[in-house]
Chain A
Amino acid sequence: MKFLAVVLFALLTGTVHAQGKTELTFYYPIAVGGPLTKVIDNLAAGFEKENPTIKVNPVYAGNYDDTRIRALAAHKAGQPAQLSVLFSIDLYELLEQDLIVPFDEMATTAEDKAWLKSFYPALMLNGTYKGKVYGIPFQRSTIVLYWNKDAFKEAGLDPEKAPASWDEMRTMAAKLVKKDGAGNVTRWGVMVPSTGYPYWMFQAFSRQNGQDLMNPEGNRTNFTHPDVVNALQYWVDLGRKHNVMPAGTVEWGTLRQNFIEGKTAMMWHTTGNLTAVKDSAKFGFGVTMLPASKQRGSPTGGGNWYLFKKSTPAERQAAFRFIKWITAPERAADWSIATGYVAVSPAAYETPKLKTYVAEFPAAAVARDQFKFATPELSTFQTGRVRKSLDDAIQAALTGSKTPGEALKTAQAEAERLLKPYK
């Protein structure tokens, strides 16, 4: 019996070592069978072809929350992944669980160090803690403004000129609102989604109004600054005072459909929707940077590569190699064209295929140009709770149950209570 077990064990483990292969497992935040799984599978296969000693197993694990849960559960169960793509704002959580190692430890050669500096600086902010790089940008996005050129023409506006300031957006939106004979709105001027990720949209408003919502150490929030309160007031007023946006919350999941069916003339949404809108919009549409109040501004979003601590040196080396390979300019360009996500390095935009693509479809470069004004996505210690208290405050203000000042005061008090131990 014992002998049999030993033989079995040898067989099982032997299959891996006999071929001298290093096996890597990574979690990837996407629903199984989604259109992007094929792209990732192809990338993994391409890497294996160039690196025959390494085998890569992608595990598709649902949305960002699900993926984090599964990666943490696998870690607790003793079967950790060696690397994963997780939410860029999971950094503090992963640090607190002591799960990840900085890339600086692996990047010892001059070439590797140059690689670490090859990305857009705006994309590195969410992955850096105390000067060390823990997250390498991969599927990253920002918020952009989509506008319906046909609707602009119909309303007597210049279809090639999108609003550049808050005032312009409000006055243009007012002209774009269309009503039927009974006075019911059939087309809204603008929609900004406020379910799912309200804090993300709000970061854009407050950045535009001159304020960031948290400090780089992730232990202080800035929700009650007058400029922040005014930013929320502007958002609330679009719906409740100027009637250019529906009052109440606007659903994230169905907003794209609203825009495609012409029920709103403008929308704020992630660049991750670009390819989908391009494929289904039956009218001319434009994409531009978000409008400015005191300055332009948008948070970055999306997923980063992380290296996990629980791995053998050989595995970690292989994982590092894989991440370097998959974020190289050629692959970043392919990835950006296939998905609409931003290509993560300036070098990727210099590749011939992305140059051609941007020339044909200039909207693809808007997100890149907006990086100059970008701010990292809201991320602090106790990030889930801090984010939720801000989400609740935004929704309370939008639905009219609290004034922006009151709502943000509650959220700030909650955040201060949560962050006290981290100061």
Chain B
Amino acid sequence: MKHVYGWLLLTPAAILLVAFTHYPAVATLADSFFSAGTALRPSRFVGLDNYAALGGDPVFWQVLRNNFWFALGTIPTSIALALLMALWVNARLPGRALVRLSYFTPTVLPMIAVANLWLYFYTPQIGLLDKVTALFGAPSHNWLGNPDTVMGCVIAMTVWKEAGFFMIFYLAALQTLPPELEEAARIEGASRGYFFWRVTFPLLMPTTLFVLVNATINSFKLVDHLFILTKGGPDNASNLLLYYVYQVAFSYLDTAYASTLTVVLLALLAGFAVVQFQLIERRVHYR
């Protein structure tokens, strides 16, 4: 009887999970072994053909490389910046609430709105960035139209958007640290830098792990801005894996290949999560 009761309690959540998470994941995996069907050419089993096509698709390798640079550019910077901002607004300073709010504002804005704002920052000549650099006599620069700078622009915007969000987690964690530790350290004569590296930072490790996992997932998940800013261009220089999935599924209507790409994306993310939890957890002290 107890079993029945337990299962009944689980059912609502289980139905939601199965219907919206597990079933789509399994269906995606299954679709990746079939060809995309149209009314005239019905879908058929093709085995690993889609995966073979993936290997020979230069755009796939490029978006993977891009995603790697995007992750490398956004994750450490936004985490470091978040920690810095949290330490800053955790201290007693006048107008603290206002500073916290202003750091958090980018998080509240929808990504599409942010991208529209930044599109005008980056626009050559009439954009904010060019207006400011023009004051110093620098020539106008085609920020988003140049494959060498476009990724940096996208990364800068993402860091601006993300750091405030991660700051909230660090701020919450900082406020749970007992003040005795700092007092004790001061009595012992420890410098502020020493105290940070030996006490604060290790105690923040659980938060860092959480933020790291989220930042990693976000670096693969956040592509909304590409719709507005660059559409993945020029020549795929700012294209990311998930945006490519969207293009394949909805511009090319090739659901089979899109499923294959999605499977790769899922496998990548699952792999990262396992590594992060396994390796880094050893260095995390939970209290």
For B142, the chain A residues whose CB sits under 8 A away are 246-250
Q: Do residues B253 and A384 form an inter-chain contact, with CB atoms below 8 A?
A: yes
Q: Do residues A93 and B145 form an inter-chain contact, with CB atoms below 8 A?
A: no
Q: Do residues A254 and B126 form an inter-chain contact, with CB atoms below 8 A?
A: yes
Q: Do residues B145 and A251 form an inter-chain contact, with CB atoms below 8 A?
A: yes
Q: Do residues B234 and A195 form an inter-chain contact, with CB atoms below 8 A?
A: yes
Q: Do residues B39 and A251 form an inter-chain contact, with CB atoms below 8 A?
A: no
Q: Looking at the complex, which one of B41, B124, B233 makes contact with A195 (CB distance below 8 Å)? A: B233
Q: Do residues A257 and B123 form an inter-chain contact, with CB atoms below 8 A?
A: yes
- Size class of the B contact interface (CB-based, 8 Å): 35 or more
For A362, the chain B residues whose CB sits under 8 A away are none
For B230, the chain A residues whose CB sits under 8 A away are 195
Q: Across the interface, name the chain B residue whose C-beta is closest to A257.
A: B126
Per the bound structure, the CA–CA distance linking A200 and B59 in Å amounts to 22
For A69, the chain B residues whose CB sits under 8 A away are 250
Q: Do residues B147 and A261 form an inter-chain contact, with CB atoms below 8 A?
A: no
Per the bound structure, the CA–CA distance linking A248 and B38 in Å amounts to 38
Q: Across the interface, name the chain A residue whose C-beta is closest to B133.
A: A184
Per the bound structure, the CA–CA distance linking A391 and B126 in Å amounts to 26
A414 → chain B closest CB, angstroms: 10
B32 → chain A closest CB, angstroms: 18
- The 0/1 profile, CB within 8 Å of B marked 1, for residues 177-194 of chain A is 000001111100000001
Q: Looking at the complex, which one of A98, A396, A398 makes contact with B39 (CB distance below 8 Å)? A: A98
Q: Do residues B39 and A97 form an inter-chain contact, with CB atoms below 8 A?
A: yes
Q: Do residues A399 and B137 form an inter-chain contact, with CB atoms below 8 A?
A: no
Which of A65, A194, A399 has the most C-beta atoms of chain B within 10 angstroms of its own C-beta? A399
Q: Across the interface, name the chain B residue whose C-beta is closest to A95.
A: B40
Total A residues in contact with B, Cβ cutoff 8 Å: 40
For A399, the chain B residues whose CB sits under 8 A away are 145-147, 234-235, 237
Q: Do residues A251 and B253 form an inter-chain contact, with CB atoms below 8 A?
A: no
Q: Judge whether A263 is part of the interface by a CB distance below 8 angstroms.
A: yes
Q: Judge whether A313 is part of the interface by a CB distance below 8 angstroms.
A: no
Q: Judge whether B231 is part of the interface by a CB distance below 8 angstroms.
A: yes
Chain B contacts with A in 222-260, Cβ cutoff 8 A: 228, 230-231, 233-237, 247, 250-254
Q: Do residues A196 and B235 form an inter-chain contact, with CB atoms below 8 A?
A: no
Q: Judge whether B134 is part of the interface by a CB distance below 8 angstroms.
A: yes
Q: Looking at the complex, which one of A96, A384, A395 makes contact with B233 (CB distance below 8 Å)? A: A395
- The 0/1 profile, CB within 8 Å of B marked 1, for residues 63-105 of chain A is 0010001001000000000000000000001001111000000
Q: A97-B39, A384-B253 are in contact. Are A263 and B125 (CB under 8 A)?
A: yes
- The 0/1 profile, CB within 8 Å of B marked 1, for residues 343-364 of chain A is 0000000000000000000000
Q: Do residues B147 and A251 form an inter-chain contact, with CB atoms below 8 A?
A: no
B34 → chain A closest CB, angstroms: 16
Q: Do residues B140 and A185 form an inter-chain contact, with CB atoms below 8 A?
A: yes
Which of B125, B144, B147, B247 has the most C-beta atoms of chain A within 10 angstroms of its own C-beta? B125
Per the bound structure, the CA–CA distance linking A222 and B30 in Å amounts to 37
For A254, the chain B residues whose CB sits under 8 A away are 119-120, 123, 126
Q: Judge whether B139 is part of the interface by a CB distance below 8 angstroms.
A: yes
Per the bound structure, the CA–CA distance linking A62 and B40 in Å amounts to 28
Q: A248-B142, A254-B126 are in contact. Are A388 and B247 (CB under 8 A)?
A: yes
Chain B contacts with A in 32-77, Cβ cutoff 8 A: 38-41, 59
Q: Do residues B123 and A96 form an inter-chain contact, with CB atoms below 8 A?
A: no
Q: Do residues B233 and A263 form an inter-chain contact, with CB atoms below 8 A?
A: no
Q: Do residues A251 and B144 form an inter-chain contact, with CB atoms below 8 A?
A: yes
Per the bound structure, the CA–CA distance linking A306 and B164 in Å amounts to 47
For A257, the chain B residues whose CB sits under 8 A away are 123, 126
Q: Across the interface, name the chain A residue whose C-beta is closest to B62.
A: A392
Per the bound structure, the CA–CA distance linking A251 and B146 in Å amounts to 11
Per the bound structure, the CA–CA distance linking A5 and B41 in Å amounts to 40
For B137, the chain A residues whose CB sits under 8 A away are 182, 184
Q: A246-B140, A247-B142, A398-B234 are in contact. Are A263 and B126 (CB under 8 A)?
A: yes
Q: Do residues B134 and A184 form an inter-chain contact, with CB atoms below 8 A?
A: yes
Q: Do residues A382 and B234 form an inter-chain contact, with CB atoms below 8 A?
A: no
Q: Across the interface, name the chain A residue whose C-beta is closest to B59.
A: A392
Per the bound structure, the CA–CA distance linking A261 and B144 in Å amounts to 19
Can you list 23 residue pairs at the A/B interface with Cβ under 8 Å?
Answer: A65-B250, A65-B251, A72-B253, A96-B38, A184-B140, A195-B144, A195-B231, A195-B233, A246-B145, A247-B145, A249-B146, A251-B119, A254-B119, A254-B120, A257-B123, A258-B125, A258-B126, A388-B247, A388-B251, A395-B234, A399-B146, A399-B234, A399-B235
Not counting A184-B137, A249-B145, A393-B235, a sample of 14 additional A-B residue pairs whose C-beta atoms are within 8 angstroms of each other reads: A65-B251, A97-B39, A185-B139, A186-B125, A195-B144, A247-B142, A248-B146, A249-B142, A250-B145, A261-B126, A384-B251, A385-B254, A392-B233, A398-B145
Interface residues of A (CB under 8 A from B): 65, 69, 72, 93, 96-99, 182-186, 194-196, 246-251, 253-254, 257-258, 261, 263, 382, 384-385, 388, 391-393, 395-396, 398-399, 401
